[in-house]
A and B are shown apart, each in its own frame.
Chain A
Amino acid sequence: MDKKNDRPMLSPHACARSRRARVSRILALRPSRTPWLPKAVRSALLAACLCLFAGWSAMGAAAAAGPSKETPEAILKTRYQLVLELVRHTPTYSPPVASRSFAYLAVTAFEAAASGSPRLKSLAGQLNGLAPVPAREPGAVYDEAVVLEAALADATRSFFQNTGPTGQRAITMIARQLGAAAAAGVADDVVARSAAHGRAVAEHVRAWSLTDGGAVVENMGFPLTYAVSREPGRWVPTSLIRQQQAPLLPAWGANRPFAMPTGAACDLPPPPAYDETPGSPFYEEARELHAASARLTAEERAIARFWADDPMLSPTPPGHWISIAVQILEAEGAPLERRLDVLARLGVALADAFIGCWHTKYRYDTVRPVTVIRKLFDPAWEPIMATPPFPEFPSGHSTQSGAAAAVLAAAFGDPYAFTDATHEADGLPARSYPSFRAAAEEAGLSRFHGGIHFRSAVTEGLKQGACIGAHAVRLSTWR
């Protein structure tokens, strides 16, 4: 037995070596440090991606001719494909807001399935404030695909409702198709009972979500009034966009987390104190970043671009890690319960990471590199990435990547080589990593290469993420 399977909180399906070997062949999950995939592997990856969408199209065609029964695994996969698109096309979904929605969606799916599973253990009582979900009728027959689809359909509407007309249209069309496919061949009374239960679970989670402090986001998360600090070293606006003259979601760190006790549970020591004196730790960090920006390699630029994960132009940073998990689970052919376990833990860890990170960001309220470097070294300096409109320390991508890596390493093993094709549709080639930790470190460094974070924000962010991720890893999901 692999060492990682000794951990009691993990799925019994985790990471058998034979499966890993098979998955590696399909998805090129190979223990290689080569950053770029060979063409043949890329083709295989692309084929795998195309298969996902082909399955979707086939489902639509089948619906026209009378749907065939769909598995819960396929329903879950399609639902995640949909929400990863919806997040990209919903302006309110800045990374913290997106992470929250992903978490509630995953918990809904998990609880819907756990309520009828002899093996899954409910997260009620483990996640802050989550009471037991409605129970199923004893002895009654349920269809798991119908339960899951009904729960996810409602959760999609609850947590991804701000999307535009095309997103709304997609939500409606997918719900119609998946609803019919889930119910195909199932007795009407079972469909009715199963759907009602799925909706009841979704409503239970939705009601729970309303009290976490993050349910209402106005003006895309930018407060209409905000007193920017005049103290040296504090954050000041860096954007020419009017909306971003106030920072994003300054109170997000006070939200109720999912698995960690409070937003302060994994707080960090302060970054180097603001000091314009040459030789001071702060000055040297700024000088390091300025110098590095002048000699960026093509590879470093590619890394910055790959992990940019810009809101409204990508699935966002938390969506990127969820995409990674979905790719691996799909390539593994993982059974439903394992998928739900991984996605719930990952969703929880990512959401907690943004709460914890935002808590620390607004505790220290530190200035961005672009402000410092223009003042100290070069008034015309431009980072290659757009500077996000909120305080610098720690790096949000680093914190959430550290958290994601902790969960995924616990779930799939460490090291676990994988290839990430999240951005192929945007013309960015897939990248390969020997481990989740390596990917997380690259994600963190992308912010340094991009010129939007000092090095300490990256290294400390990764540490914070590991701490936060451990809370999700400690959840007990198996009976």
Chain B
Amino acid sequence: MPSLVVRFAACLIAAAAAAPAEAGGGPLVPRFVDETEASGIRSVYAGDWEYMVGGGVAAFDCSGDGFPDLVFAGGTAPARLYRNGSERGGPLRFQAVESGVELDRVTGVYPVDIDADDIDDIVLLRIGETVVMRGLGGCRFERANEAWTFEGGDAWTSAFSATFEAGSAWPTLAIGTYIDLDKGAMPWGNCAENRLHRPRVEGGRPARGFGPPVPLAPSHCALSMLFTDWNRSGIPSLRVSNDREYYKGGQEQLWRVEPGKPPALYTEAEGWKSLRIWGMGIAGADLDGDGFPEYFLTSMADNKLQTLADPKPSAAPVYKDVAFARGVTAHRPYVGGDIRPSTAWHADFQDVNNDGFADLFVAKGNVAEMPDFAAEDPNNLLLQAPDGTFVEAGDRAGVASTRIGRGGALVDLNLDGLVDLVVANRWKDAEIWRNTTAGAGHWLQIRLADDPPNRDAIGAWIEVRLADRIIRREVTIGGGHAGGQLGWWHFGLGATATPQVRVLWPDGREGPWQAVAGDSFQVIGRDGPPRPWTP
């Protein structure tokens, strides 16, 4: 629709004039200060072959003070929870606390409020039994597999996402698995079965707790999953990114997960194109303002950025790769001189300079001394320009670490409106950077307060109207690599000091546009005006 394109282009041009930028042109390069040493975080993702993937970190508020806390997967070492002791706008400070999460063989961590008590619970992906843990408050957790009738199985779990299906009293969890543990010597072609844990049904009525897991067959060694409403149908589908190193006959997948129906793969006849990559992470964001998410898929060498070929509500799932055109292939180290291709893991879109354009972070690191791939593989921080292209700034921003990256989180850890960064590394200490960018734009952080059972309104869309355009985010749990975050949803506003915001709730209800103050935290429920929150 040319008219929309023209309008959007006009918006971009107008926004470009207002967005924070470098004096010589280009997006404002943020400044990150490495505060690893003083942060109190000492976390290494440890282990040999069984831990070549995983190593995630979860960011969510388990203490109730609004500041995100962190849980790291430890591999052969116990998982650890670090409570956030930072002051607002101050240095990043954390303290390891006994929390109940200290299990070993943990590969990934995702937060989700399963029992709708407004206290985040967590799911621990492991080699062995997957464990769901009930949040008790005060950063304490207890095992809940039995209480919630969750069958943890015995597998190498490696991916997670959650959704709340319409009419259910409980979330649906997707658990991705990697190589069949029984096929150690010759694992190729032996991917274990992914599982969908849907709510229990009792006497034909939805009940609390999980029913027996439903296999998501065929499974192709998943390393990332994301429930996402790719076509804005109101019913999220499940994207699964798979590692072609281990499957035979596999590909990337999109599962139709409709309430009351068995999950079904989108097929070639429906437009789904076979794509076979070393899929390791998924990040979604509406980058072009058309209301439909783009998806960045991490891999080895070239990464992918997929956009709907024909974006409209009845769209077929036909995607085209625009990574090259947008400048996000991130296929090779850009500093350090290692010419070999890169290996990408966690990815996330966040606006790190508050210019109103989502930027892209990619954690990089060799699988394990793979000679075909870069050993010194710097993380990427790709800044989005108003024209939709991205420019590498990891080195200039100070985050081009060449430790062996795996998981990560971009989240405002000291609640100053600037997105900070934490990266979990294999065999080496995790790193944490404080965003201290001067001259960044305005910002807004929103937390949704929905009715039970979906207290965090997973599946909602938050829209923010700037002076000249609308930016939006889908509220999801999952994706990335082996770790996720829950809590404040951050928006950079550029020059807009007083944006309007509205919520498209998971059941389709459209909230009203309401003006809020920029540079503020707002809690939005279904009724009433946004409630300002102050740390």
Q: Which residues of A contact B (CB under 8 A)?
A: 53, 56, 60, 85, 88-92, 161-162, 164-166, 169-170, 173-174, 218-220, 224, 240-243, 310, 312-313, 425-428
Docked-complex contact B372 and A91, CB < 8 angstroms: yes
Beyond A91-B372, A240-B323, whether A224 also contacts B339 by CB under 8 A is yes
B186 within 8 A of A: yes
Docked-complex contact A164 and B244, CB < 8 angstroms: no
Q: Which residues of B contact A (CB under 8 A)?
A: 49, 52, 185-189, 244-246, 248-249, 276, 300-302, 321, 323-325, 329, 331-332, 339-341, 367-373
Within the complex, which residue of A162, A173, A310, A312 is in contact with B371, where a contact is CB–CB below 8 Å? A162
* A341 shortest CB reach to chain B, Å: 28
B300: A residues at CB distance < 8 A: 91
Docked-complex contact A166 and B245, CB < 8 angstroms: yes
Who on chain A is nearest to B343 by CB?
A: A164
Q: List 28 A-B contacts (CB under 8 A).
A: A88-B188, A91-B341, A162-B371, A164-B370, A165-B49, A165-B368, A165-B370, A166-B52, A166-B188, A166-B245, A173-B185, A218-B340, A219-B340, A220-B372, A224-B339, A240-B325, A241-B301, A241-B302, A241-B329, A242-B302, A242-B324, A242-B331, A243-B302, A243-B331, A313-B276, A426-B249, A427-B249, A428-B249
A89: B residues at CB distance < 8 A: 188, 245
Beyond the given A88-B188, A165-B368, please list 12 additional residue pairs across the A-B interface where CB-CB is below 8 A: A90-B372, A91-B373, A164-B245, A164-B368, A165-B49, A165-B52, A165-B367, A165-B369, A220-B372, A241-B301, A243-B302, A243-B332
Assembly CA distance A242 to B302 (angstroms): 7
B368: A residues at CB distance < 8 A: 164-165
Secondary structure class of chain B's binding surface, majority of residues: loop
Assembly CA distance A219 to B186 (angstroms): 27
Who on chain B is nearest to A81 by CB?
A: B186
Assembly CA distance A446 to B44 (angstroms): 49
Most buried by B among A53, A91, A169, A173: A91
B52: A residues at CB distance < 8 A: 165-166
* A64 shortest CB reach to chain B, Å: 12
B323: A residues at CB distance < 8 A: 240
A166: B residues at CB distance < 8 A: 49, 52, 187-188, 245-246
A165: B residues at CB distance < 8 A: 49, 52, 367-370
Docked-complex contact A240 and B341, CB < 8 angstroms: no
Beyond A91-B372, A164-B368, A165-B52, whether A85 also contacts B188 by CB under 8 A is yes
A170: B residues at CB distance < 8 A: 185-186
Beyond A92-B372, A240-B324, whether A164 also contacts B367 by CB under 8 A is yes
Docked-complex contact B321 and A240, CB < 8 angstroms: yes
Top 4 closest pairs, chain A to chain B, by CB: A427-B249, A165-B368, A426-B249, A242-B329
A173: B residues at CB distance < 8 A: 185
A428: B residues at CB distance < 8 A: 249
A240: B residues at CB distance < 8 A: 321, 323-325
* B444 shortest CB reach to chain A, Å: 35
Most buried by B among A90, A166, A426: A166
Docked-complex contact A220 and B301, CB < 8 angstroms: yes
A243: B residues at CB distance < 8 A: 301-302, 331-332, 341
* A430 shortest CB reach to chain B, Å: 14
